[in-house]
Amino acid sequence: MNTVRRVILPTRMAVWVLLGLCLAFTAVLAAGVPVALAGPAGLGLLALLAALAAADLWRSLRLWAQAGPRVERRLPAAFAINASTELRLDVVNDGPLAWQLQVFDELDPLFDFEGLPLSLTVDPQTRTPLRFRVIARQRGIATIGRTQLLWRTRAGLFEVRQTVGDAQRLRVYPNFAALARYAWLSGDRRLAQMGIKNFVQRGQGTDFRQLAEYRRGDPLRHLDVKASMRHRKPVVREYQDERDQCVMFLLDCGRRMRADEGSDGQRGTSHFDDALDAMMLLAYVALQEGDEVGAMTFGTAETDRRDCAPRKGMGTLNALMNKMHDLQPGHHHSDYLAAAEDMSKRLRRRSLIIVLTNFRDEDAPELRPALALLRRRHLVLLASLRETALGVMQEQPIHSTEDAVTVASAHMLSQARQDAFARVVERDRLSVDVEPQALAATLVNRYHQVKRSGLL
């Protein structure tokens, strides 16, 4: 319901006028004028000023109610995390009077903003657009509150702080700039700019694609005799990577995924955000390839778990976004074995299961049997996020004994992690342990490798 709340305060000018009156009354008394003479005069003057102020307030409120400016808010359908978004307010004045305003929008604390409050003079019969920018620092549901207006009465004796409009709730999604960039690059055949290797091998795969003229190097076993005789030139069958396969994500939402290194150069980006971005990019790629995509979370309370059954079509990407956009990593320990057992019960069809997590040495005793259980039926890709801080420490220059100890310790920790990861994945060359900024491109490359090699 669009209700109006008002707070009326005297302006600085009104306070100075009242203070001046008090000082003048004090000076008159100090000059020896009797109180019996000065008192009635002072009270009379005070009553006159109070009457003028009341008349000013009553008239201004009446004029505002009859033809005061109104605010129309224009919001996007949704926000993207760490993306600067322009918001617009239109101040519409259909009345015959100009008004001095300050405008402030009540924003959710998860927003950083610039350009507020906005001060302006609204001329009569005008529509004034106001713009300011916000940056959402966390995914989930954001509340854009009501709009606050601060305006002065006609004589300037009072300021009226007025709250208008209704609060609105909008969703903050992961930043899908990478998806848009991938779509553009894939259409322009410049995927190498993202570190993604994508090339077509003629004649490979198992699904028939099309007939094409023979080129040197094409397998002779793909020669189509009937088509060659019909066209009077060698014609071969071209095949493409098998479609209708299943890609299933197992997303860790435990306490390890809360690690925040600002991996993309902006604060507020956790390992979980990086994993979610990579998952969405690979989901987009797999859906474009005609595969089914699904996701399941673990490491959270039972009430916070999300489960998206594998489906085909680009509508699946929207379903994933809507289910995962407000998910945050919790404080729970991630039970890998329980997640593997749950996945094995739910997913009977052989699939590519991608486990997104933040691996530690102490996870090895639990993670190894979980992966073994999944590998009985599925192809498993373990994708672990490695802290960038270790790499930075290893590369720092050595100027003192403390620097040498720091660099050596970083190398020891890194080597211990590599050894533990190798023991967990054993001879699996598909799994990866990479820094967050490299995860998306690495996963897409691994997916293409699986498709080309026919591992599924």
- List, for residues 179-199, the tens digit of each pLDDT value: 555 554 444 444 455 555 554
On whether both 294 and 222 belong to a single domain, the answer is no
Question: Mean pLDDT across the stretch 254-262?
Answer: 79
Q: What average pLDDT does range 217-224 have in this prediction? A: 71
Q: Residue 365 domain-assigned?
A: yes
Same domain membership, residue 391 and residue 345: yes
One-letter amino acid at 369 equals P
Which residue in the block uniquely carries the two structure tokens 């080129």? 215
Q: Are residues 110 and 222 in the same domain?
A: no
| Phi, psi at 238, each rounded to 5° | -100, 140
Which of 105-109, 267-271, 374-378, 390-394 comes out lowest in average pLDDT? 267-271
For the chain, give the percent of residues with pLDDT over 70.
87
Q: State residue 336's pLDDT score.
A: 92
Average predicted confidence (pLDDT) for the chain? 81
Q: How many domains does the chain have?
A: 3
DSSP labels for 84-141?
EEEEEEEEEE-SSS-EEEEEEE---TTEEEES-SEEEEE-TTEEEEEEEEEEE-S-EE
Q: What is the 3-state secondary structure (H, E, C) of 254-292?
A: CHHHHCECCCCCCCCCEHHHHHHHHHHHHHHHHHHCCCE
Confirm whether 203 is domain-assigned: no
When pLDDT is averaged across residues 364-388 and rounded to a whole number, the result is: 90
**What CA dihedral angle connects 420, 425, 430 and 436, to 10 degrees?**
-40
Q: What average pLDDT does this structure show over 116-144?
A: 87
Please report the pLDDT score of residue 50 as a whole number: 85
The reported pLDDT for the residue numbered 264 is: 45
Question: Does 232 share its domain with 351?
Answer: no
Instruction: Please report the pLDDT score of residue 177 as a whole number.
Output: 61
- Distance between CA 125 and CA 69 in Å, rounded? 10
Higher-confidence residue of 194 and 389: namely 389
> Does the residue 153 lie in any domain?
yes
The verdict on residue 7 lying in a domain is: yes
In a domain, 164, yes or no: yes
- Looking up residue 257, the CATH number of its domain turns out to be 3.40.50.410
Structure tokens at 225: 């005799």
What is the pLDDT confidence band of residue 1, given thresholds at 50, 70 and 90? very low
Beta bridge partners of residue 143, listed in sequence order: 169
pLDDT in tens, 91-125: 899 888 888 888 888 888 888 888 788 888 889 99
User: Which CATH number goes with the domain that contains 59?
Assistant: 2.60.40.10
Are residues 228 and 93 part of one domain? no
Whether residues 154 and 213 fall in one domain:
no
Q: How confident is the model at residue 240 (pLDDT cuts 50, 70, 90)?
A: low
Does one domain contain both 235 and 249? Answer: no
Query: Does 152 share its domain with 281?
Result: no
Residues 10 and 136 in one domain: yes
Whether 392 is in a domain gets the answer yes
Verify that 52 and 159 share a domain, yes or no. Answer: yes
> What pLDDT, on a 0 to 100 scale, did the predictor assign at position 200?
46
Is-above-0.85 flag for pTM? no
The helix (H) or strand (E) run that includes residue 415 is: helix 401-425
Q: What is the mean pLDDT of residues 264-291?
A: 80
- Cα dihedral 387, 85, 112, 254 in deg (nearest 10): -40
Evaluate whether residue 55 is within a structural domain.
Answer: yes
Same domain, 272 and 127: no
Please indicate, yes or no, if residue 76 is contained in any of the structural domains.
yes
Rg (CA), the chain: 34
Range 35-49 average pLDDT: 77
User: Which whole number is the average pLDDT over 345-363?
Assistant: 89
Full domain range(s) for residue 231: 208-240
Residues 193, 315 share a domain: yes
